[in-house]
C-alpha cells in the first residue's frame, strides 16, 4: 500500500483543501468588511465614523470636540424631570447644566468616544446610574455634541432632541441576529437614529472654507438645532463673525451660568460679515432669533427657516431632519489664560 492510500494522506488532503478555503474566506472577509464603510455611512464616514472599527481609513482622520477650557463641545445634559441636573463641577469654565462624564471615563475613554460616537448612549446610561439616587423623577440625558474633523469646522454630530438613555434601553430588547446585523451596518433600529445626516454639506458645496483662517475656528450648524440647543462658551472672551445664516444670530452673554436668569445677561444681535467682540463672560449662548412657527421645509423635506426655497410650514420642526444653513467663525481672545490648564 502506497502513501497515497493511507488514512493519514486522505486526512492531510482534506485538511489542505479546507485550509485553502479558510484562507480564501479570511481574505474575502478582510476585503469586504472595510468596503462596507462608505456604503453604510452614505459617504459621511469621516463625520459619523460608521464602520470605522474595521476600515481602511483607520488613523487617517483626526477629530476634536475641544478648543480650551470652557469651550468643550461633547456635553451630556441630564434632566431630572424637566429640571437640569446641577453640575457638581463648580469651576468657572464648566457648563452648569452638563455632567463632567469625562472625569469618569478618563482621557483615553474620551478619545475613544470622540472616534466612536455610537457609544454615547452607553455612556449616557452609565451616567444615569451614577446620578439616579440624586435625581428625583425621570432621568433623560440629551447630547450637545459638535466635532471638528481634520481641523475643519465644528459640526453638530448628534441630535440634541434625542434622549440617549431611552434609545439605549430600547436597543437592549433586540434579538441577537438583529443586533449582529445592525452592528455590522453600524446602525440603530428604525426610528432610533440619533446621528445627524448630511453633515459637512456646506463645506462640500464650497460655501464654507475647509479650514478656518489661522487663529480662528469655524462652526457649522442648523437653524432648527441652534434654536433648540444653543452653542455654549464658558469663561471665554471671543470675537465672532457670521458667514451665513437664514435669520438673525443672537449672542447672550451673562455673569452667571444659568441661561434662565436674564437679569444679568446682555443680548446682542450679530450682523453678517461683521466681526463682533465679546468680553469674557461666565456663560455665552449663541442661538438664532426664531420660534417654532418660523420654520418650513425645503424641496427635499428638510427643515430650515421659511424663505426662498422653503415655503411649506413645519408644525413641529425636528433637528435631525434639518439642513445645515448656519456658519460662523470664532477667534478666542483669552487663550493665554488657559494655556497652563491644557
Give the pLDDT confidence of 176-197 residue by residue, as tens digits.
Answer: 899 889 888 889 988 899 999 9
**How far are the Cα atoms of 73, 146, 151, 232, 340 from residue 157, in angstroms, in the given order?**
10, 5, 15, 15, 29
Residue 201 domain-assigned (yes or no): yes
Query: Which residue in 133, 126, 134, 135 sits closest to 103, CA to CA?
Result: 126
Dihedral (CA of 167, 80, 105, 96) sign = positive
Q: Which three cell numbers stand for residue 101?
A: 462624564
Q: How many CB atoms lie within 10 A of CB 151?
A: 12
Residue 334 pLDDT: 86
Residue 293 domain-assigned (yes or no): yes
Residue 136 domain-assigned (yes or no): yes
Residue 185 domain-assigned (yes or no): yes
CA 282 to centroid of chain Cα atoms: 24
Question: What's the structural domain count of the chain?
Answer: 1
User: pLDDT tens per residue, the chain (342 residues)?
Assistant: 555 566 665 655 666 666 677 777 777 887 778 888 888 888 888 888 888 877 777 667 789 999 999 999 999 999 988 888 888 888 888 998 899 999 999 999 999 999 899 999 999 999 999 998 888 778 999 999 999 999 999 999 999 999 999 999 999 888 989 988 988 888 998 889 999 999 999 999 999 999 999 999 999 999 999 999 999 999 999 999 999 999 999 999 988 766 555 667 899 999 999 999 999 999 999 999 988 888 998 888 888 998 877 778 888 889 999 999 999 999 999 888 766 555
**How far are the Cα atoms of 44, 98, 136 from residue 133, in angstroms, in the given order?**
39, 17, 8
* Euclidean distance between the first and the last CA atom of the chain, given in angstroms as a whole number: 78
Residue 8 domain-assigned (yes or no): no
Residue 4 domain-assigned (yes or no): no
- Reported pTM: 0.87
Q: Which domain holds residue 130?
A: 67-341
Residue 83 pLDDT: 86
Residue 235 domain-assigned (yes or no): yes
CB of 90 closer than 8 Å to CB of 70: no
CB of 114 closer than 8 Å to CB of 61: no
**How far are the Cα atoms of 36, 188, 314 from residue 53, in angstroms, in the given order?**
11, 16, 38
Residue 336 domain-assigned (yes or no): yes
Amino acid at each position: 500500500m502506497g502513501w497515497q492510500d493511507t488514512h493519514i494522506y486522505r486526512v492531510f488532503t482534506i485538511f489542505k483543501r479546507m485550509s485553502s478555503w479558510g484562507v480564501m474566506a479570511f481574505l474575502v472577509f478582510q476585503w469586504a468588511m472595510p468596503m462596507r464603510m462608505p456604503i453604510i455611512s452614505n459617504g459621511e464616514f469621516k463625520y459619523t465614523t460608521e464602520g470605522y472599527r474595521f476600515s481602511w481609513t483607520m488613523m487617517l482622520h483626526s477629530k476634536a470636540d475641544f478648543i480650551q477650557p470652557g469651550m468643550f463641545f461633547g456635553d451630556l445634559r441630564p434632566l431630572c424631570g424637566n429640571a437640569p441636573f446641577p453640575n457638581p463641577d463648580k469651576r468657572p469654565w464648566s457648563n452648569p447644566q452638563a455632567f463632567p462624564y469625562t472625569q469618569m471615563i478618563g482621557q483615553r475613554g474620551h478619545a475613544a468616544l470622540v472616534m466612536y460616537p455610537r457609544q454615547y448612549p452607553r455612556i449616557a446610561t452609565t451616567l444615569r446610574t451614577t446620578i439616579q439616587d440624586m435625581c428625583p423623577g425621570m432621568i433623560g440625558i440629551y447630547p450637545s455634541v459638535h466635532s471638528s474633523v481634520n481641523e475643519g469646522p465644528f459640526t453638530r454630530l448628534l441630535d440634541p432632541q434625542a434622549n440617549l438613555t431611552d434609545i439605549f434601553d430600547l436597543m437592549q430588547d433586540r434579538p441577537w441576529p438583529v443586533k449582529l446585523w445592525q452592528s455590522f451596518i453600524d446602525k440603530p433600529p428604525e426610528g432610533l437614529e440619533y446621528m445627524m445626516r448630511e453633515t459637512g454639506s456646506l463645506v462640500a458645496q464650497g460655501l464654507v472654507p475647509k479650514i478656518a483662517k489661522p487663529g480662528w475656528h469655524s462652526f457649522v450648524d442648523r437653524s432648527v438645532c441652534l434654536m433648540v440647543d444653543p452653542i455654549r462658551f464658558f469663561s471665554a472672551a471671543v470675537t465672532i463673525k457670521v458667514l451665513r445664516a437664514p435669520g438673525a444670530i443672537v449672542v447672550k452673554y451673562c455673569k452667571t451660568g444659568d441661561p434662565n436668569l436674564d437679569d444679568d445677561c446682555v443680548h446682542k444681535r450679530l450682523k453678517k460679515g461683521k466681526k463682533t467682540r465679546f468680553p469674557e463672560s461666565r456663560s455665552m449662548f449663541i442661538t438664532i432669533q426664531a420660534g417654532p412657527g418660523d420654520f418650513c421645509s425645503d424641496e427635499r423635506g428638510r427643515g430650515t427657516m421659511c424663505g426662498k426655497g422653503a415655503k411649506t410650514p413645519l408644525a413641529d420642526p425636528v433637528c435631525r431632519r434639518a439642513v445645515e444653513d448656519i456658519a460662523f467663525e470664532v477667534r478666542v481672545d483669552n487663550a493665554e489664560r488657559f494655556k497652563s490648564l491644557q
